[in-house]
Structure 1
Amino acid sequence: MGLAERRKVLGYSQESFAHALGVDRTTVGRWENGKTAPQPPLRPKLAEILQVDLAELDALVAQPQATPQEPAGSAPRAHNGSGDTDDMIRREFLRAIAITGALAALPDDEADANSEAVRRGASTDFLRMNSHLWQVYQLARAKRSVYPIVREQLAALNESMHGRSPSEVQVLCGAAGDLFQLAGELAFDNNRYADAAASYTLAASASKDSGSFDLWACALVRHAYVDVYEHRYREAAGILSAAERVAKRGDSSLSTRHWVASVQAVAHAGLGDLNGCERALDEADKVQELAGPGHNGGWLRFDGSRLAEDRGARYVQLGRLDLAEKALQSALKQEALAEGQSFRRRGAVLTDLAAIGAKRRDLEQVVTFGGQAVQLARESSSGYVARRLRDLRAEFGPLVRDGRVAELGAEIDALSTVRGEG
């Protein structure tokens, strides 16, 4: 019995099954066609709904089912996410891990012969290049310009995985866990959430195989962000709970567990839990007690410098506007934000301040801060800021009768149209 048959036996249509899981119906269709597999964070809930254990679930999803729309033996349709090249890279990477695992079981002389025949580059080269790419990503105004370089690096890493020794594979898995997180960041910033989630899932798998708990936890945190920005706070809380457990096994001198706490605060706020939110923020604030920097500037960048704006944003979520405005104004005055060193961060603060104005029906505050955020979104081409502005747009309500607010709304809509996200 395959996944489709089990679903039907339990009386679910594809649509009702997708609703129960909190995913799109087309996602269920791709699982049943064998085009994709359920992501690890979804598997426990999927097994529960199907009334099977995880081992039985693996057997179900391993049997692709043909549908009337796509008969067995027909050519697979193109994936409409990031493109065929990116899907190929993902498949090849997973295939490379499988091949290297098989090579590790070969006799030493045969494995060495294979390794020497296909050896390309040093694993440390990938780590060094990844670090450089994170710096380029952080400095780039148009984040999407970094994507072709990351794609080429992923392709090179895929080729290099073949024929390596187990110890080299472990290092390269760490490099892959790092690079797939960056690829996910690029997809997320461009509002391609399915692609971002796929990249973060691969990042978590590779990071686990590398034995790096901090890298693994960070991949899970980034995956949770996808649920957060689609307002699936309970799902995000589940992933973050796993990230918290993984982070506890990591390096206590790093800020990983504090970053987990800061994102848990977002989930608590989304669920309306003020006390849980403040507890998580207080835990995140303990990053200030670390002796060293606590981060590497790449896949782990949390240093507590944005806690004021994070706290303000959480209070906006919870409707505590008095507390929110005080925290956000403090964040805006920080030198790093005032000099525009982070477009995403400054854009988020400006948008939250405009949202406070909308809730208070303060036209001047909406137009002033909202207008600044729109200008920043144009300059940076940031999908993240554009997404935050669309959320602001939904807060306008009767204020849209004012000509200036209506004009601001049109400018926000134009951002989406220009980016092809309308």
Structure 2
Amino acid sequence: MASRRERFAERRVAQGYSQEGFAEALAVAASTVVRWESGRATPRPHQRPEIAALLGVTLPELEALLSEWQPAETAALADDPPLQRGDDDDMKRREVVGLLAVTGALVTLPDSDGISRGRTASALLEAGDDLHRSLWKVYALSDSKQAVFPAVRGQLDTMSKGLAEARTSTERARLCRMTADLYQLVGELFFDVNRYTDAAQCYTLAAHAAHVGGDHDLWACAMTRHAYVELYARRAPAAESLLAAAARVAQGGDGALSTRHWVAAVQAQAYAATGDLDACDRALDEAEKVYVLDGEHSHNGGWLRFDGSRLAEERGACYLQLGRPDLAEAALTAALAQPLSLRRRAAVLSDLATLGAYRRDTDQVVHYAEQALGLAGRSHSGFVGRKLDGLRGSLAPLMADDRVSDLDHRIAALPRTT
């Protein structure tokens, strides 16, 4: 069976190019094409659109041609790196996925009237909510989000035992709500290191557990987080469908909470991805109505953290995606002036660097990208790496500048997991 790099060469030949002719069309050395086809090198991101055009393929098809051949049973997992480096840590990830499946099954157990409540269930009902709030707080304050992973893994094990011991429907509903809360935190951990398949599984299970537990706000938030996965996988129509459903679910929730406003903020990102400026503005305006709520009680700091403080950076990112740098600059500059977490500051800096690339302003690109790279090295966040990858896609016109070329290499070398 031909390897995918061999298919790359076969596609070149089918389009009528020799290696020398292909190299000449791309203004590269023939030896570069030889290295691409042998697997010893890979085309740079700014070269790929032109390569795809010459080969008559889409960019995703080109990625497939450039990827090394792998067995079909592992190919589907290729976009999901391990949560942490090393076989031992990937085994821990698989243990967590297994615990998700166990607790997901236990959520649907019938009540066990007549059976005395176990010690684990009693402890969870007494202190579980406080513990989960503490875990969310550690997650929010940590530069490296994976610091909370061991505690979350242990709590998943505890939740599985507690669900098995629940006695009444009231106890089970409350434990299901706790489980939905914990699932969303696990999903955030997976999402932070670009394990989108695992994150989506967590959010799906969280939505189901919240539904069983009768909490519409928790349910809508799980669906909104799932929509983020679709957005990052560039499936905006799927995200729009999830968000429309989340908005309907949120209508049945607590009107004093910010759930429906958060749904609107994420809907704005979906509209930006599909190029609908008017719908994006309407959604952002709806999200800003969060400011009329009682700020102290509109969110819980855990699975619902939306208080409007991120709207400036989110508006700027939306306008940037819509190709409106004129609108993006004011929002992003205002966001940068606010107190931001390391992760959020790196994202805003990346967007400001991208804004500089739109303007062909090399100094602005270097100024902001250097700061973002410094923060990326401290956080080891896949999210930050993803933002900087987005910047790389806009650097092609500036690559003649050695500073930009160096930035490109350093972004490419960033670890994508922790």
TM over 0.5: yes
* Contact 2:317 2:332 (C-alpha < 8 Å) held by counterparts: yes
Give structure 1 regions of 4+ aligned residues with deviation exceeding 3 angstroms.
80-83, 114-120
Q: Tell me, in whole angstroms, the C-alpha distance in 2 between the residues paired with 1:299 and 1:117.
A: 26
The letter of the residue matching 1:286 is K
- Does residue 376 (structure 1) correspond to residue 375 (structure 2)? The answer is yes
Give the one of 309, 317, 320 matched to 1:316: 320
Give the superposed CA RMSD.
2.3
Map 1:251-290 to 2 at 5 A. Answer: 251-290=254-293
Aligned-partner residue type, residue 130 of structure 1: H
How far apart in 2 are the matches of 1:411 and 1:116? 53
Q: What letter matches 2:186 in structure 1? A: A
Query: Match of 1:288, SS?
Result: helix
Q: 1:301 aligns with which of 305, 308, 313?
A: 305
Are residue 325 (structure 1) and residue 329 (structure 2) matched? yes
1:91 aligns with 2:101: yes
- Preserved contact between residue 97 and residue 198 of structure 2 (Cα < 8 Å): no
Change over 3 Å in CA distance of 1:129–1:231 after alignment to 2: same
Q: Deviations over 1:69-127 (max 9, x none)?
A: xxxxxxxxxxx89733122201210232233x1x44xxxxxx32353587552413111
Residue of structure 1 equivalent to 2:163: 161
Contact preservation (8 Å) 1:115, 1:162: no
Task: Give secondary structure in 1 for the equivalent of 2:107.
Answer: helix
- Residues 265-307 of structure 1: CA deviation (Å, up to 9, x unaligned): 0000000000000000000011111134311111111111111
Residue 118 to residue 326, structure 1, CA distance change in 2 (3 Å): closer
- The 3 A distance-change label for structure 1 pair 405 and 119 is closer
> What secondary structure is seen at the aligned counterpart in 2 of 1:157?
helix
Residue in 2 that maps onto 1:240: 243
Aligned-partner Cα distance in 2 for 1:233–1:298: 26
Q: 1:40 is matched with which residue? A: none
Alpha-carbon distance in 2 for matches of 1:119, 1:314: 44
Distance 2:263 2:415 in 1: 30
- Structure 2 distance, partners of 1:310, 1:237, is 17
TM-score normalised by length of structure 1: 0.75
Equivalent position SS for 1:231? coil
Distance 1:92 1:402, change over 3 A: same
Q: Is the 8 A contact 2:121 2:161 kept in 1?
A: no
Q: Which runs of 5+ in 2 are unaligned?
A: 1-60, 62-69, 75-89
Matched residue, 1:46: none
Q: How far apart are residue 29 of structure 1 and its match?
A: 7.8
Q: Does 1:210 align with 2:213?
A: yes
Change (3 A) 1:116 1:398: closer
Unaligned runs of 5+ in 1: 1-18, 20-25, 31-79, 105-110
In structure 2, the CA distance between the partners of 1:191 and 1:114, relative to structure 1 (3 Å rule), is same
Q: 1:206 to 1:322 in 2, by over 3 A?
A: same
The higher relative CO (CA closer than 8 Å, separation ≥ 6) is in 2
Relative to structure 1, the CA distance from residue 296 to residue 116 in structure 2 (aligned partners, 3 Å threshold; closer, same or farther) is: closer
The CA distance in 2 between the partners of 1:117 and 1:346, in whole Å, is: 44
What is the match of residue 362 of structure 1?
Answer: 361
Distance in 1 between the 2:121 and 2:316 partners? 51
Change (3 A) 1:377 1:117: closer
TM-score where L is the length of structure 2: 0.76
* Aligned residues between the structures: 334
Report what 1:350 is aligned to: 349
**244, 250, 261: which is aligned to 2:253?**
250
